[in-house]
Chain A
């Protein structure tokens, strides 16, 4: 980790309009929970379904996309990344520093609101914790995946959106096998193991899910550094 890279990334990512967008989304997430609670009596099962459908299926992938790409894609797009790359700093250090910022933003704007929403919906402390840990796992994996994607391609946002919308929401619902490769299912598996029995069901076993979360996170972090090392600037265009 490099303090200067962390500072530059944080200012670049949260200094502009992005922070308002993130804040608005976080408020929206909690707002939906408040509305649901106020308007109708919510059972624990309904609360869990709501959190899964909104926080896990929609908000977390979306947040991961915004902060994961936001940590590096604009710099690659406008070429200002050269100011970081023309320095004797390990590319892995750069990636880790940027990832730390993305993770921090995910926790502040996605994981904490999820926890808050779970509490608002009247879930017990055990279930709230379970959703919090699950959200953290999902947020971390999404952040690093979209950060990696930004280094691999200039179309990271489009591809990321397609992944978040089509793969996680649609394919996963119709093709059972695809759920093994769904970050959402991995995270739900973690939540399932911590939550009171029967509240949440995941399609992926806990062992596999943990291995995929930890292994995927570590591998993607390493690979992002390796790819940043060979990032090329296009010639005259």
Chain B
């Protein structure tokens, strides 16, 4: 059992703040680090993996500082996003070299076991440079698993995988989590994280925007104002009928289209067709105008910063309880 702790951690590169005052605990089981590209996920994983010192705050493994502490690699296995490996080695040689560097008693057997775990024994005698992206990812995974680590860090592990490889990796990570290992993986795809992680940490623009299990995160994402662009046979009648209902926060007529802001997603979805029928208006087109993940994320950030201005805290949005307060110094 191993626990990673990120405490009041920030990281900046010159004038750019990549990670902004993040506090999170990653314990045994599978945790998904979710956020759009450029949100600071890789920076966080690099700090957890000991490849980057935090500019402020601490990053520890079971209480021990990770930065400049090569002993943590007895506990941590890391797979970074960059593809480069020792392309001139065969898969087997590559994983075996890892086992040797870990000083394992029987590096050959450990390498074989790790290659079996990722189902790469068939291709183990081919050069790593000849592998497909997904195979490289798996052999890197084998190399990270060779010393049977309690902590596994994976940066965008599903990138470049075909559906079959993806399924296989999902199974593999589930097993790892079930064995009580601490598995942290990053992704910008909600469905991926939802499928796998029992705990989700959302990072947006370097801030820790939300934290919870997938149901809570999903609810946070659905339970927010939604904007629609609507064209209908009679925009004005529809507008007045919609304004009369409480689940509509705002309606505006913009040339040929109607722009509606709904305050409650589910209620509005049920309301719109009913109102249209009652008003005898034909709906021609209904388009959600901000369904991109970007806008979902930015909503989470806004809501967490609204919460922080209200309560003087900088705690991420939490669905389970009212935001705990931590006084800003």
Contact = CB atoms under 8 A, between A and B. Distances in A.
Interface string A76-95: 00111011111111110000
A88 B80 contact: no
Contact of A89 (B37, B40, B70, B82): B70
Contacts of A230: 53, 68
A19 to B, nearest CB: 12
Interface in A183-237: 229-236
Given A79-B80, A233-B52, A235-B52, A86 B86 contact: no
Contact of A236 (B42, B103, B143): B42
A11 B52 CA distance: 28
Interface residues of B, number: 39
A15 B101 contact: no
| Most B CB within 10 A of own CB, among A7, A86, A234 | A86
Interface in B139-159: 143-144
Interface stretch (B71-79, B297-305, B320-328): B71-79
Contact of A84 (B46, B53, B80, B101): B101
Contacts of A232: 46, 51-53
Interface in B156-215: none
A40 B250 CA distance: 96
A85 B85 contact: no
| Most B CB within 10 A of own CB, among A16, A83, A91, A231 | A83
Interface in B40-96: 40-43, 46, 49-53, 68, 70-71, 73-74, 76-78, 80, 82, 84-86, 88-89, 94
Given A15-B88, A82-B78, A87 B102 contact: yes
B53 A2 contact: no
Given A79-B84, A235-B13, A236-B37, A87 B70 contact: yes
A12 interface: yes
A8 B11 CA distance: 33
A84 B73 CA distance: 11
Interface of A: 2-5, 7-8, 11-12, 15-16, 78-80, 82-91, 229-236
24 contacts: A8-B89, A8-B97, A12-B86, A78-B82, A79-B80, A79-B82, A80-B84, A80-B85, A80-B86, A82-B80, A83-B85, A85-B50, A86-B77, A86-B78, A88-B74, A232-B51, A232-B53, A233-B52, A234-B13, A235-B13, A235-B42, A235-B52, A236-B38, A236-B43
